[in-house]
Amino acid sequence: MLYIGVDLGTSAVKLLLMDGAGKIENIVSKEYPLSFPHPGWSEQNPEDWYVNAVEGIRELTANCDRSQVAGISFGGQMHGLVALDEQDHVIRPAILWNDGRTGKETAYLNEVIGKEKLSQYTANIAFAGFTAPKLLWMKENEPENFAKITKIMLPKDYLAYKLSGVFCSDYSDASGMLLMDVENRCWSKEMMEICGVTENQLPTLYESYEVVGTLKPEVADTLGLSAEVKVIAGAGDNAAAAVGTGTVGDGMCNISLGTSGTIFISSRNFGVDKHNALHSFAHADGAYHLMGCMLSAASCNKWWMDEILRTKDYAKEQAHITKLGENNVYYLPYLMGERSPHNDPKARATFVGMTMDTTRADMTQAVLEGVAFGLRDSLEVARSLGIQIERTKICGGGAKSPRWKKIIANVMNLKVDVIESEEGPGFGGAILAAVGCGEYASVAEAAGKLVKVVDTVEPEAELVKKYEEKYQKFRKIYPTLKGLFQEL
């Protein structure tokens, strides 16, 4: 049988077709626009996701036996607020995960409600990108729109709803709304009351590998697929990517270099970072994970290449990077503010340390290193909790860069395992679809059989030492500039 994984990203929807043995038969990508109505705001039209997903699925399956397609599942950008009215019309553009407008609401939740209570209710504190602060913002700034809400959903759940007619979400994605009691895997009554919403407005929760329904007949006709095709709940993009990289079970690690950057540590048991710098979420395998998320990762490199250097030849630019660990230029990767571990939507990207002999390659290198240092900030929080990580998987667009992988390995002093497929969320979505359709008994079994490590980037002692010195300098830059960022 064949399974479709839908990776609903920030810049594009990537669709992946996989057979039951894990072979990727086809990949299709469809881009859509991203809107920045004000500095620090980030929005999209949910209809763009659906139109492009439908077109992409038709293209994806054009040259296969469509009767063999058994299931569809998802890995989706997290935290976005999609609000529908009683006619199922989208009320306003979706407010995305990297939107920073909710500073006031985030402060209210953390300082008035209190971090201790939030952590008790949800296992997390408020971050600007989470869904609950966005609801409070909408309630305050768009009361007429807020009053129209009958359904609150996350981006990938909008696709599931349009495909199946089932109003659903999964535990991993819902963990990032600040509306769910993560430990007990249910909606938090206290948070619903704080946000002024009811359980009827929130989707039914499923495990990521559970079947929520089948394709609506009219949708099946449009796609050229059977109405018996199962729709499986899916997962937040990072949990789906973790499945797609085999980061399942206790103490496994995955680094994602996508639009955002994450370090994802899977755990058999529920646990909370006492500093609340790392998120404590449910995992797509039915267990839990800790995650550090930086808002701009590969998007920093894309910005630097596309907007500043005006080139699409990323590999050529990186070929000039020859002196790893010796760069005197530093880059703070906070183009959209920052989440982990600083929780500061007003933080901004900054180059520090340029001199007259600074080269184009030095600045390109600084961008790659700045992202690696930012991820290390979250790794250090995990280490402070006694979590010992020796190796990690890696995925995302940035994982295609050999130099970036080498920088990551040495900045973080981790063995970096490269897997056969770098299509983390899409591959993870397809695996969840296969589990939901009974091809495999569990997510752990499927990941164990389908995910293959093809290379390992080893840290080098001398380079680790050089990068340790550089990192200790890097970590002083943000605290020094924090007050200035607030003024700017």
* Residue in the structure block whose two tokens are 């039915």: 286
**DSSP states of 24-90:** EEEEEEEE---B-SSTT--EE-HHHHHHHHHHHHHHHTTTS-GGGEEEEEEEE--S-BEEE-TT--B
CB 53 within 8 A of CB 6: yes
- Reference 158, options 2, 3, 6; nearest CA is 6
Helix (H/G/I), strand (E/B), else coil: 344: strand
Q: Which two tokens stand for residue 95?
A: 């407010």
237 catalytic, yes or no? yes
**DSSP states of 417-455:** EEES---HHHHHHHHHHHHHTTSSS-HHHHHHHH--EEE
Helix (H/G/I), strand (E/B), else coil: 163: helix
- Residue 12 burial by Cβ neighbours in a 10 Å radius (0-12, 13-18, 19+): middle
Binding-site residue numbers for substrate are 78-79
Q: Which residues pair with 254 in a beta bridge?
A: 264, 393
Q: Which two tokens stand for residue 54?
A: 């439908």
- Reference 424, options 154, 212, 236; nearest CA is 236
Instruction: Round to whole Å and give the CA distance between 431 and 248.
Output: 12
* Residue in the structure block whose two tokens are 């899409």: 426
Percentages of the chain per state (helix, strand, coil), in multiples of 5: 40, 25, 35
Q: Using omega within 30 degrees of 0 as the cis cutoff, is the peptide bond preceding 46 cis?
A: no
- Reference 444, options 455, 456, 431; nearest CA is 431
CB 415 within 8 A of CB 405: no
- Catalytic position from the list 237, 273, 285, 377: 237
Beta-carbon contacts of residue 14 (< 8 Å; ≥ 6 apart): 6, 7, 27, 28, 29, 423, 425, 426
At how many degrees (to 10) do helices 155-164 and 46-60 cross? 60
Binding-site residue numbers are 78-79
Instruction: Round to whole Å and give the CA distance between 43 and 124.
Output: 24
Chain Cα centroid distance, residue 13: 13
**DSSP states of 114-158:** IHHHHHHHHSS---TTSHHHHHHHHHHH-HHHHHH-SEEE-HHHH
Q: Active-site residue numbers?
A: 237
